[in-house]
Structures are given as structure tokens and as C-alpha cells.
Amino acid sequence: MNDSLLRELVPAVIGVLVRRGADFASAEDAVQEALIRAVDTWPDDPPRDPKGWLVAVAWRKFLDAARAEASRRGRELAVEAEPPAGPAPATDDTLRLYFLCAHPTLPQAAAVALTLRAVGGLTTRQIATAYLVPEATMAQRISRAKRRIAGLPLDQPGDLGTVLRVLYLVFNEGYGGNVDLAAEAIRLTRQLVALTGEPEVAGLLALMLLHHARRVSRTGPGGRLVPLAEQDRSLWDTGLIAEGVAILQGALARDRLGEYQAQAAIAALHADARTTCETDWVQIVEWYDELLRLTGSPVVRLNRAVAVGEADGPQAGLAALADVPPDVPRHTAVTAYLRERAGDLERAAELYAAAARAATSVPERDHLTREAARVRQPPRP
């Protein structure tokens, strides 16, 4: 049983059912039932046309469910004329499903869950495990999302920016459980690159690959957080870095710069440096300037202050930090780092401790606590 093949076929099969007259929720449910049957039968009797098999079984499941609801005569009349059996059409509906699942009216959490279910082909249990929530909770989230988009046509223009935000959110959820969400986000983004050819989609893929290349080095024993400057760069995946840089170069050559391309350019400069000292911080500041122009984001302004501190010294970094609202996440931690670089160790230790108390994850809290303790230690002779 090829799980990867099944996940790739799911959006195409849902699209076929929708074009035949099924609503999205019913089509998605029917395809999930077909997948369960495929798991039971394919190992002993693999079909010659997997997509056609899934379409045929899912369509019968949909018809059975529709005909069972006698009160909904309009639905029954629409499905009475069953299309003839035969090879599944080659039309690819994946892109339209992306846009529907990442519809702007959906909350981000719901859009992520629906994308993983309908386009990623994951089960509700797999998604729930990946997000560390009960299966019933995730099932309710997916059901609410499907009800919310019920009746929305698939032929309306979608918001590509929303789709990209959803995929990046999936990627940033990281790794764990039975499903590696970062790897799943990369797989889905590769599909979107092939479907759109848009440079900003390629920029997002490049960004994911460049970050993913550092995965092994980002944590130490017991899940301990390892900052970029302390990571063992010999562990970085040079193949992923080369692929990410090549994709980024192709996107930048289109001369339609977007925020994901700018972020990928920054990641590429970090990946290109053999040591922390060799990092081209001046060019990184220039890319942050571009990113700030594109987004106006206070988070970008915060990260730019760190880069300025590396390129022009800690006092310059602190001056740049003055333009960042103090309630931006990680503001206190960045201030602590720049204060330490400037030699104000007592204030830096206080700020590291304050940042640790406000941390939203255990690894981050532990890391900042260790930084506070380190700064408080008297220097060795």
C-alpha cells in the first residue's frame, strides 16, 4: 500500500465528485470511506487505475448516502443520472481545493485542518495526533469548517495569499506525532508550485527547504533548543540547501518579489555561511529592509534590529529596537541579547529571566532561563 500515492490522489478524486454534483462535505466524506476500503483491499488486489477505482467507489458511497436522505429530494434528483463508469478524467482539481480549504472566511485553525484532510489526505486521527488534541475535538473542527464552506462554488477565484499562509502555518507547527507536519507542508507546497508556477509559491517552498535543512541541528538532547549561532553546521542537509537556493534563484529571476522570497533570501544567506562569523549581516539587513517594505510587520522590524546589531554593533541594534512596539513577541529576549552584547550584563540577566517567564513553550523557557544563569556567572580567570 503506497500511502503517498493515496494522499496525492485524494484532492483529484474529491474534485471529480464535486464536478459531478456532490457538495464538498459529502464528497470528502465519501472519499474517506473509499480510502478505508482501499486500505483493506488494495494489498491483495491492487487496481490497474487507482484514481479510477477511488472515483468509482467514492461516487457509489456518495450516491448511497444521498439516496438515503429521502427528505432531501433536490439532492436525489441531481444524482439520479449516474455518469458512466470508465477511466477517471485527467482534470486536476487540486488547486481549486486549496483555495476552498483556505477560504478567507475560515479561521486559520480550521483552514489548516481542512487542508490537511482534503488536500493532504490525512485522517482526522492523524491530524489530531499531530496537533496533540483529542480526535473528537479535531473532528468537530473539521465538521464546522465543512459546514461553513458548504455551497461555496469551486469556480470562484481564490486568494493565493491565504493558501500560502495556511501552508506556512502548517510548516511552522513543526514535527511530531505520527505525521511530520513540516514534511507534509513541503509536500503540499511542491504540488502548489507545479500547479501555479508563481514565483512567490516557489519562494515559500525555498524558505521551507532552507529551514528544514537545519532541522537536525535545532535541538539537542532532551529537546534542548539550540540557537542558530551554536548549531553544528556539519549536520545541515546540503542537498536541501542547494535545492532551496536553486528554487529561490529561479523565483527571484522573475522580478516579482514577495515576502516569502525575501524571507528565503535571508535564510539562504544564513545557510551559505560556513560559520556564524562569516554571515553576511550587511546583506541580511538589506533583505530585511525589503521585507519591511513589503509587509510593515513589527516582527520583521524586531528581527531587523537583531541583524542591525550584528552588522553595526549592539548600540545600533538597540537604536533600531526603539522603533519596535514592546508587546511584540520576543521583544524582551532580543533586548536582553543586545544588552549583553553591549556589556550591560546585569540588565541582560534581568531581561532574560523576564523573557523566560513570558515564554510560550517549555524549550524556549528553559533556553532563556539558562541564558539568564549564564550571564549572571562571574567571568572565568
Phi, psi of 247 (to 5 degrees): -65, -40
Q: How confident is the model at residue 354 (pLDDT cuts 50, 70, 90)?
A: very high
Mean pLDDT of the chain: 86
| Spatial contact of 142 and 150, defined as CB atoms under 8 Å apart | no
Alpha carbon 169 to chain centroid, angstroms: 4
Instruction: Convert 99-129 to b/e letters by CB count within 10 Å (16 or more is b).
Output: bbbbbeebeeebbbbbbbbbbbbbbbebbbb
> Taking the CB of residue 212, how many other CB atoms lie within 10 A of it?
20
pLDDT in tens, 69-97: 544 444 444 444 444 444 444 445 677 78
- Within 10 Å of residue 132's Cβ, how many Cβ atoms? 9
Highest mean pLDDT among 9-13, 97-101, 186-190, 250-254: 250-254
- Average pLDDT, integer, range 301-324: 97
128-148 pLDDT tens trace: 887 778 999 999 999 988 888
Indicate whether 155 pLDDT > 60.
Answer: no
Determine the pLDDT at residue 158. 63
List Cβ neighbours of 300 (8 Å cut-off, separation of 6 or more).
Answer: 288, 291, 292
**Contacts of 48 by beta carbon, 8 Å cutoff, 6+ apart:** none
Question: What is the pLDDT, as a whole number, of residue 110?
Answer: 87
Rg, Å, the chain Cα set? 24
Q: In the predicted model, what is the mean pLDDT of residues 180-189?
A: 89
Q: How far apart are CA 318 and CA 335, in angstroms?
A: 7
Q: Tell me which of 36-45, 196-205, 240-249, 343-352 is least confident.
A: 36-45
* 161 has a pLDDT exceeding 80: yes
What pLDDT sits at residue 228? 93
Question: What is the Cα–Cα distance from 284 to 270, expressed in whole angstroms?
Answer: 9
Handedness of CA 240, 244, 247, 249 (dihedral sign): negative
Taking residues 176-188, report their average pLDDT: 80
pLDDT band with cut points at 50, 70 and 90 for residue 351: very high
- pLDDT at position 28: 82
Q: How far apart are CA 367 and CA 225, in angstroms?
A: 6
**Residue 259, phi-psi category: left (phi > 0), alpha (psi -120 to 50), beta (remainder):** alpha
pLDDT of residue 355: 96
Q: What is the predicted pLDDT for the residue at 332?
A: 97
Residues 185-194 have a mean pLDDT of 92
Which of 223-227, 298-302, 351-355 comes out lowest in average pLDDT? 223-227
Report pLDDT digits (tens) over 233-261: 999 999 999 999 999 999 999 999 999 99
For residues 379 and 376, give the distance between their C-alpha atoms in angstroms, rounded to a whole number.
9
The string of pLDDT tens digits covering residues 33-56 is: 888 888 888 888 888 888 889 889
Rounded Cα gap, residues 69 and 65, in angstroms: 7
Burial class (CB in 10 A: 0-12, 13-18, 19+), 2: exposed
Joined together, the cell numbers standing for residue 235 give 549536520
Letter for the amino acid at 18?
Answer: V
pLDDT > 90: percent of the chain: 47
The CA-based dihedral angle spanning residues 180, 362, 228, 353, taken in that order and rounded to the nearest 10 degrees = 170
Q: Is the pLDDT assigned to residue 271 strictly greater than 80?
A: yes
Cα separation, 294 vs 292, in Å, equals: 5
In tens, the pLDDT along 93-125 reads 677 788 888 887 888 888 888 888 888 877 888
Instruction: Considering only residues 61 and 199, tell me which one the structure prediction assigns the higher pLDDT.
Output: 199
CA separation for the pair 314, 308 (Å, rounded): 8
Banded model confidence at residue 177, pLDDT cuts 50, 70, 90: low
Residues 6+ away with beta carbon under 8 Å from 12: 51, 88, 92, 93, 94
Is 15 a residue whose pLDDT tops 50?
A: yes
Distance CA 189, CA 176 (A): 19
Regarding pTM above 0.75, the answer is yes
pLDDT tops 80 at residue 379: no
* 219 phi and psi angles, rounded to 5 deg: -130, 150
Residue 92 is predicted with a pLDDT of 56
Amino acid at 301: R
Cβ-contact 30, 58 below 8 angstroms: yes
Residue 29 has pLDDT above 90, yes or no: no
Q: At what angle do helices 108-118 and 135-148 cross, to 10 degrees?
A: 100
Residue 297 predicted with pLDDT over 50: yes
Residue 156's pLDDT is what? 56
CA dihedral 111, 114, 117, 119 (to 10 degrees): -70
Can you give the pLDDT at residue 203? Answer: 98
